[in-house]
A and B are shown apart, each in its own frame.
Chain A
Amino acid sequence: MTRFKELDPILHSQLRLAVVSLLIGIEMAEFTYIREQTGATAGNLSIQITRLKEAGYIEVIKKFRNNYPQTLCSITELGRQKFAEYVNDLKDYLSPKKQG
């Protein structure tokens, strides 16, 4: 019988997965950069970033640059670990090994 480990519900969402996949290869990115790359609306992206932040997967720093607010996002160690687990689970899901 083939058993699938449930995919992490925090990451198994189009936009949240896109944000984490984007942040995995970079040290830090501005909110506007993430919006440009994912093609998401500011409202939706803001909601998904808050969810990722609440789950502890990403860190959000708000500061000012030239008197304009700037939101910087980076992945946390937990986020990195969860992303690796998600990719492993996805591999099992795509090429399942027969168990028992």
Chain B
Amino acid sequence: MQYIYNISNILIKVNIIMENEEKVMTGEESLKIISEMINKTKFDIRQGSFYLLFWGWLIFVCSLSEFLLKKFAGVGHSYYVWLLVIPGVFVSMIYGFMTGRKAKVRTYTGILYMWIWFGFFIAAMVLFIVHSKSMYSVAPYILLLAGLPTFISGFLIKFKPLIAGGICFWVIALAIFFAGTDTYSLGSAIAMLFGYLIPGYMLKNRVDHDAV
């Protein structure tokens, strides 16, 4: 019995020594380790696709409902559909809090991504307050603002459809500004389709494909 115990003790010690023994590396091996490890620290883009799809659908439904209610049902206070944005903010905050708690790593890209969108949220709130007496005219400015984080996020995660989405926001903002207030809600719905939903689904497909 003592013999077996001694052998197992020796094996454990040998294992520890082997684990801690440092193999001499060549310069090429060092470079390979550095590039492999740096490549592993890419930002997890799954979080990005959730927000794009969630906000894309929410704003798309609100914009289109407002347009349809006003144009075809003749509802005067069709803008009330925008109240859906309030629970949307809470859902986003809860999702962000939950994923943040579970995250095992915080990348610089992820932090930058979060603050860019948070900055957009604050700027949008300021815009709503400034335009509180003329909310009907806020759409082109919101699209103008929304284009910026979308465009930058596209560069951060190296995803061209999102860069194109940001540009779409600016083009549509300009178009509806000159086309008049009647086009604002329909223009916003189209902007959501090209700016958030299409890039959002493409991003999700890429993540799902990479995960296989």
Contacts and interface: CB of A to CB of B under 8 A. Distances in A.
Interface stretch (B21-29, B52-60, B141-149, B153-161): B21-29
A41 B19 contact: yes
B33 A32 contact: no
Main secondary structure, interface of B, reads: helix
Contact of A17 (B30, B40, B107, B108): B30
B120 to A, nearest CB: 21
Nearest to A43: B19
Nearest to A92: B27
Contacts of A60: none
A13 B34 CA distance: 12
A27 B41 contact: no
Nearest to A48: B20
Main secondary structure, interface of A, reads: helix
Interface residues of A, number: 28
A30 B31 CA distance: 24
B108 A26 contact: yes
B-side interface size class: 20 to 34
Contacts of A12: 25, 30
> Which of B25, B104, B111 has the most C-beta atoms of chain A within 10 angstroms of its own C-beta?
B104
B16 interface: yes
B37 interface: yes
A33 B104 contact: yes
Given A14-B29, A38-B37, 5 more contacts: A12-B25, A26-B108, A27-B106, A44-B20, A93-B27
Interface of B: 16, 19-20, 22-23, 25, 27-31, 33-34, 36-38, 40-41, 101, 104-108, 111
Q: Which 4 A-B pairs have the closest CB atoms?
A: A21-B37, A33-B104, A25-B41, A44-B19
